[in-house]
Amino acid sequence: MTAALVAAEWARVFTLGKARGRIKALFEADGARAARMSRQACGMLYDFSKTSLTEQSLAALLELAEAAGVASARAALFAGEKINTSEGRAVLHPALRAGPRAVIELDGADVMPKVRATLSRMAAFAREVRAGAITDVVNIGIGGSDLGPMMASEALSPYCDGPRLHFVSNIDGAHIHDVLKGLSAATTLVLVASKTFTTIETMTNAATARRWMVARGADPAAQFVAISSALETAAAFGIPAERVFGFEDWVGGRYSVWGPVGLSLMLGVGPENFAAFLEGAREMDTHFAQAALADNLPVLHALVGLWHHQVCGYKTRAILPYDQRLARLPAYLQQLEMESNGKRVSRTGAALSFGSGPVVWGAPGTNGQHAFFQLLHQGTQIVPAEFLIAMRGHEPELAHHHALLVANCLAQSQALMLGRDHAEAHRVFEGDRPSVTLAYDRLTPKMLGRIVALYEHRVFVEGVILGINSFDQFGVELGKELATALQPVLAGAEADLDSSTAQLVALYRAHQP
């Protein structure tokens, strides 16, 4: 890979981007477009035909991917190389879901025996809890220590037959107050999930939950679990070693649902369904590792993303699951994509000469249709849409609902693309608004694993082509530092503040008793 070659490939892609035609015309010119611009793998159909990509621009993007070294970066990821260069760490979340015979070496040692041992401990613990008197599990964590299990447990609610799951993340006392309010301390298990075990939100909520439990005569030593990479810090919190589930620093927070951070999910759906979730992700790992770039779903999804944001200049992307149980997927993907690829410098620290990651947002359909779809259809910004739709639901008795759901999903991608002419200006739909559709059989644990791993690898490929490190997140530090510095100021300490912050501090102080 040379920088000059990559720049030349980018230039070619940009030229093709400027000459792009209307999507509708591409369909009119090629009766086989849908088949040509779709791929099937891992039980999914990925249809990217309703975009302005042509075979020529797709070929150019694939050449860009090759020039940028996607194949060798992919090999380095799975080989445990320290590709998180700014932090000197490997990126081995695929090890958490690797098969029983996998050997994955890091610094000359196989990491898998420890991964398997932790998974077995989690399964044994989950079986014990699911068979016991615990009625409610409260996962206290934030960001990657919250969004994954929260999103997945809602997605897999038809499989949740264990204790009720609750998630507390926000430092706002309203969150923990409202969750604990209905629970019995005697039958509640609290999981404190934090990779670092220093995150202020999580540690504050954990201390509040402990006080709540003690005040009601229950024993936190018996009903608290710690999930962390910082084993000593977790032990210092007073949780016995047999209730501490550790993971290594080569698992990024936003990639951690596959290991101990997924314990709440395992408690809800059981170890077998959790294993199926891992198996689905493993299938996607194998596909990503082995399929040719032109047939590789994560690679194609990444290229579509780059085409829309960097080349066409569309500022955001909408995640639109026509699958109510994926309601939290947009929030999960916001962290995955924006914390990974929301960067302003390259791996080497040089300022990027083009945009990095787009704003990611979304909500389930059909609800979004009655809220923000007006802008998608007739607004002045073009927002590429990513539809997710299951061919079957989990409620056969409500199949007529599902048929309506599918009809709406397909209709929206059609309407976005086709638009409508009308004599009256307010009723004109310009059309030519791109979308991709990810269609799958049913949202089973295995399918959810495949979908999440697809997005993880998409983010990775985009990062490689953009030349950025997708695995650090220094951009979250400044706000944390300033919040720490403001605590004594709210309590009355003097500080040299800008006039806006000073005004807000004064208002806060004036409202205290």
Least distance (Å) between residue 79 CB and ligand F6P: 24
Binding residue for ligand F6P (CB under 6 A) from 52, 54, 84, 145? 145
Assess 196 for contact with ligand F6P (CB under 6 A). yes
Least distance (Å) between residue 196 CB and ligand F6P: 3
Assess 17 for contact with ligand F6P (CB under 6 A). no
Binding residue for ligand F6P (CB under 6 A) from 118, 188, 202, 470? 202
Q: Which amino acid is residue 403, in one-letter code?
A: A
Binding residue for ligand F6P (CB under 6 A) from 194, 334, 341, 412? 194
Taken in order 197, 201, 204, 210, is the CA torsion positive or negative?
negative
Catalytic residue among 18, 370, 426, 511: 370
- Whose Cβ is closer to ligand F6P: residue 149's or residue 434's? 149
Q: Is 386 a catalytic residue?
A: no
- Whose Cβ is closer to ligand F6P: residue 63's or residue 249's? 249
Cα dist from 256 to 35, 228, 326, 500, whole Å: 35, 10, 18, 38
Assess 341 for contact with ligand F6P (CB under 6 A). no
Distance, in Å, from the CA atom of 297 to the CA atom of 46, rounded to the nearest integer, reads 7
Binding track over 90-129 against ligand F6P, x by CB under 6 A: ----------------------------------------
Q: Is 339 a catalytic residue?
A: yes
Assess 162 for contact with ligand F6P (CB under 6 A). no
Size of the site for ligand F6P (CB under 6 A): 14
- Whose Cβ is closer to ligand F6P: residue 195's or residue 458's? 195
Distance, in Å, from the CA atom of 337 to the CA atom of 298, rounded to the nearest integer, reads 13
Least distance (Å) between residue 315 CB and ligand F6P: 23
Least distance (Å) between residue 207 CB and ligand F6P: 14
Least distance (Å) between residue 205 CB and ligand F6P: 11
Distance, in Å, from the CA atom of 30 to the CA atom of 56, rounded to the nearest integer, reads 14
Least distance (Å) between residue 327 CB and ligand F6P: 20
- Whose Cβ is closer to ligand F6P: residue 57's or residue 205's? 205
Asked if 53 contacts 46 with a C-beta cutoff of 8 angstroms, the reply is no
What tokens does 257 get?
Answer: 């649902």
Distance, in Å, from the CA atom of 211 to the CA atom of 176, rounded to the nearest integer, reads 12
Distance, in Å, from the CA atom of 470 to the CA atom of 310, rounded to the nearest integer, reads 17
Distance, in Å, from the CA atom of 174 to the CA atom of 155, rounded to the nearest integer, reads 25
Assess 143 for contact with ligand F6P (CB under 6 A). yes
Assess 80 for contact with ligand F6P (CB under 6 A). no
Assess 259 for contact with ligand F6P (CB under 6 A). no
E-assigned strand segments in 345-442: 359-362, 385-390, 435-440
- Whose Cβ is closer to ligand F6P: residue 253's or residue 262's? 253
Cα dist from 20 to 14, 24, 149, 216, 431, whole Å: 10, 12, 41, 66, 15
Assess 89 for contact with ligand F6P (CB under 6 A). no
Cα dist from 189 to 91, 132, 186, 493, whole Å: 31, 11, 9, 39
Binding residue for ligand F6P (CB under 6 A) from 210, 254, 317, 458? 254
As separate numbers, helices (DSSP H) first and strands (DSSP E) second, the chain gives 21, 13
Least distance (Å) between residue 227 CB and ligand F6P: 9
Binding residue for ligand F6P (CB under 6 A) from 23, 142, 165, 306? 142
Q: Is 279 a catalytic residue?
A: no
Asked if 270 contacts 126 with a C-beta cutoff of 8 angstroms, the reply is yes
Helices (H), 147-244: 147-155, 173-180, 200-215, 220-223, 231-236
Q: Near ligand F6P by CB under 6 A, which window of 155-163, 188-196, 343-351, 425-433? A: 188-196
Catalytic residue among 339, 386, 456, 462: 339
Least distance (Å) between residue 413 CB and ligand F6P: 33
Binding residue for ligand F6P (CB under 6 A) from 144, 163, 220, 260? 144
What tokens does 457 get?
Answer: 């690898």
Distance, in Å, from the CA atom of 223 to the CA atom of 355, rounded to the nearest integer, reads 47
E-assigned strand segments in 63-123: 105-106, 109-110
Contacts 24+ apart (CB under 8 A), 295-298: 295/39, 295/41, 296/41, 297/39, 297/41, 297/42, 297/44, 297/46, 297/454, 298/454, 298/456, 298/457, 298/458, 298/460, 298/461
Binding residue for ligand F6P (CB under 6 A) from 39, 195, 287, 450? 195
Q: Which residues are identified as catalytic? A: 339, 370, 480
Q: Which residues bind ligand F6P (CB under 6 A)?
A: 142-145, 194-196, 199, 202, 253-254, 339, 473, 476
